[in-house]
């Protein structure tokens, strides 16, 4: 056998390339497959569990409306995590940004009742929500840009500051006097976001979420600003040689991410809960990190992944009530594909580095 033939038969060590858009699909498939053994361990029927999981979201018009309601904050906060991710940054502060954005929206929705009946007045509290989230994101961005403080640490710590700040106000100066529990007053009905359909109750906030996701997706993939952020994520040194300021890029990416997460909180407050209480968020800000990671920072992929996470959360209650399957079993499935996909991506990267295939 010739040397050429031997070389042709020798394994190259290269792994088949997976299209970027296939990773979310792979993650969702892995998550759904992981449900079966967990349900079986709980002593329930696996086929019945799958049927109930789909029935919760797609078995009725009302269930579908609930699915979309759950998805709105996940989409917006997920995009708020994906934008910094593309710039090489990790925004773990979505929970605090969402909560502070919701508080700002409710504050304006209560105090600015004089303009509540003006058409399109809901934009005012949503803008306040964006500012509230942007403040937290901007603080983390400023500390990263000009003091090189890791944004993972600052965004996590700012979560606690935002949560305690909001809890102080809704338990004290901004507490509704007619409630037996700590919560803010309801926003003026003129600011509330509409719903479509008497049964389905499709939230108008989902249109806002999709519009913003589309606009930010265009910004990241079709504009010079997005190109600059993506180059920054690839290599800060290369970005600097191309005239991109790493400091301003980090500040802008985290500020924009915080603003989007804040709008997610404002949309939930104006379109669903109408006030802010201690249990306002079931953890959307943390789920959104998994959404963005599974989407691999692709803003357009965030939408279907967020819908999948909302699908899991919507079905968890039905599986618990009908089959006695703990709801946490279903919800934690969202983390399984992230871990598996991250392991695969990391292993592939390590393999390429060893072989010099970069």
Q: What is the CATH number of the domain that holds 214?
A: 1.10.3470
Would you say how long the chain is, in residues?
358
Q: What is the pLDDT at residue 102?
A: 97
Find the range with the poorest average confidence among 2-11, 44-53, 329-338, 347-356. 2-11
Q: What is the pLDDT at residue 1?
A: 45
Instruction: Look up the domain containing 255 and give its range.
Output: 63-315
Q: Is residue 241 part of a domain?
A: yes
Distance of alpha carbon 267 from alpha carbon 248, whole angstroms: 28
DSSP 202: E
Mean pLDDT confidence for 255-264: 97
Q: Is the pLDDT of residue 357 over 90?
A: no
Q: Is residue 211 part of a domain?
A: yes
Q: What is the pLDDT at residue 36?
A: 82
Q: Is residue 19 part of a domain?
A: no
pLDDT, one tens digit per residue, over 152-178 is 999 999 999 999 999 999 999 999 988
Tokens for 237? 């040194």
Residue 291, φ and ψ in degrees, nearest 5: -60, -50
Q: What is the pLDDT at residue 9?
A: 43
The contacts of residue 166 (CB under 8 Å, 6+ apart) are 99, 100, 102, 103, 276
Q: For residue 19, what pLDDT band results from cuts at 50, 70 and 90?
A: low
Q: For residue 20, what pLDDT band results from cuts at 50, 70 and 90?
A: low
Distance of alpha carbon 330 from alpha carbon 332, whole angstroms: 6
pTM: 0.88
Q: Is the pLDDT of residue 354 over 50?
A: yes
Q: Is residue 321 part of a domain?
A: no
The conformational region for residue 243 under phi > 0 = left, psi -120 to 50 = alpha, else beta, is left
Mean pLDDT taken over the chain: 86
In angstroms, the first-to-last Cα distance of the chain is 31
Q: Is residue 270 part of a domain?
A: yes
Calculate what percentage of the chain has a pLDDT beyond 70: 85
Beta strands 202-203 and 195-196, pairing class: antiparallel
- Select the highest-mean-pLDDT range: 14-28, 297-311, 318-332: 297-311
pLDDT, one tens digit per residue, over 289-315 is 889 988 888 899 999 999 998 998 888
The contacts of residue 62 (CB under 8 Å, 6+ apart) are 199, 200, 201
Q: How many domains does the chain have?
A: 1
Q: Is the pLDDT of residue 261 over 60?
A: yes
**Please, what sign has the CA dihedral across residues 169, 162, 251, 70?**
negative
Q: Is residue 99 part of a domain?
A: yes
Q: Is residue 351 part of a domain?
A: no
Q: Is residue 31 part of a domain?
A: no
Q: For residue 343, what pLDDT band results from cuts at 50, 70 and 90?
A: low
In the beta sheet, which residues pair with residue 196?
A: 202
DSSP 277: B
């Amino acid at each position: 056998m010739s040397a050429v033939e031997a070389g042709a038969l020798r394994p190259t060590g290269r792994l088949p390339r997976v299209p970027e858009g296939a990773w979310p699909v792979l993650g969702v498939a892995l998550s759904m497959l992981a449900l079966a053994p967990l349900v079986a361990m709980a002593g329930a029927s696996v086929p019945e569990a799958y049927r109930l999981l789909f029935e919760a979201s797609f078995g009725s018009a009302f269930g579908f409306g609930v699915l979309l309601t759950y998805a709105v904050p996940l989409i917006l906060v997920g995009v708020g995590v994906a934008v910094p991710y593309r710039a090489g940054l990790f925004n773990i502060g979505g929970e605090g940004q969402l909560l502070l954005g919701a508080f700002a929206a409710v504050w304006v929705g209560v105090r600015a009742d004089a303009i509540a009946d003006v058409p399109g007045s809901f934009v005012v509290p949503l803008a306040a929500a964006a500012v509230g989230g942007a403040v937290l994101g901007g603080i983390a961005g400023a500390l990263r840009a000009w003091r090189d403080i890791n944004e993972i640490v600052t965004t996590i710590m700012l979560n606690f500051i935002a949560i305690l700040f909001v809890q102080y106000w809704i338990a004290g100066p901004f507490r509704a006097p007619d409630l037996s529990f700590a919560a803010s007053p309801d926003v003026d009905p003129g600011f509330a976001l509409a719903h479509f359909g008497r049964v389905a109750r499709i939230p108008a906030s989902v249109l806002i979420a999709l519009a913003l996701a589309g606009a930010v997706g265009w910004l990241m993939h079709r504009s010079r600003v997005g190109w600059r952020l993506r180059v920054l994520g690839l290599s800060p040194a290369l970005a600097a040689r191309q005239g991109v300021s790493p400091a301003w890029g980090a500040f802008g990416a985290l500020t924009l991410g915080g603003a989007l997460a804040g709008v997610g909180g404002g949309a939930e407050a104006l379109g669903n809960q109408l006030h802010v209480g201690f249990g306002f968020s079931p953890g959307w800000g943390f789920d959104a990190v998994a959404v963005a990671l599974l989407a691999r920072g692709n803003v357009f992929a965030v939408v279907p992944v967020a819908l999948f996470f909302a699908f899991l959360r919507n079905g968890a209650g039905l599986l618990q009530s009908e089959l006695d399957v703990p709801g946490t079993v279903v919800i934690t499935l969202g983390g399984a594909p992230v871990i598996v996909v991250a392991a695969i991506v990391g292993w592939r990267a390590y393999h390429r580095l060893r072989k010099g295939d970069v």
